[in-house]
Amino acid sequence: MVSSPDLQLHPWPEQSTSHSFDSPDLPPEFQWLRSPEPLRFMSLEARPGFLRLTGMASLGSWFEQSLVARRQETFCFSAETMLEFNPLNFQQNAGLVCYYNAHKYHYPVGICG
């Protein structure tokens, strides 16, 4: 039997759960889908203090969506955002979504445009 080494605890630092998007880089816990060029649909510089997303394909698409995501880390959580959204027709949406894949996602009530 091999004994385990006597290592000191090394806890991960607490991450902020609130983001103001006031830096030129997206925080590392945020990711996006299916685009090697995120500047095609998002900007932190066009309006400082805001994350600007330009519409792309729908959430059910296997191509490029305008989706910036953060992993859910706990079973129970709450999320909120503020947004400006000017839809041109009923098929355009904006807001928060719980996203698993192109077939499994849920819009919270009252977010769709």
As for how many domains the chain has, the answer is 1
Is 45 known to be catalytic? no
DSSP code at position 76: S
Pick the catalytic residue: 14, 64, 80, 84?
64
Q: What is the residue-level pLDDT of the chain in tens, covering all 113 positions?
A: 899 899 999 998 887 788 888 888 888 888 887 777 888 889 999 988 899 988 888 878 888 888 888 888 888 888 888 888 888 888 788 888 888 877 777 766 544 44
- Residue 56 inside a domain? The answer is yes
Q: How far, in Å, CA of 42 to CA of 72, rounded?
A: 21
Give domain status of residue 17, yes or no: no
Residue whose pair of structure tokens reads 């949406």 in the numeric block: 93
Residue 99 lies in a domain: yes
Q: What's 35's domain CATH number? A: 2.60.120.200
Is residue 18 a part of any domain in this protein?
no
Range of the domain at 56: 27-72+79-113
Q: Which residues pair with 104 in a beta bridge?
A: 101
Cα(14)–Cα(8) distance, integer angstroms: 18
The pTM assigned to this predicted structure is 0.73
Q: The dihedral of CA 51, 75, 100, 28: what is its sign?
A: positive
Residue 5 lies in a domain: no
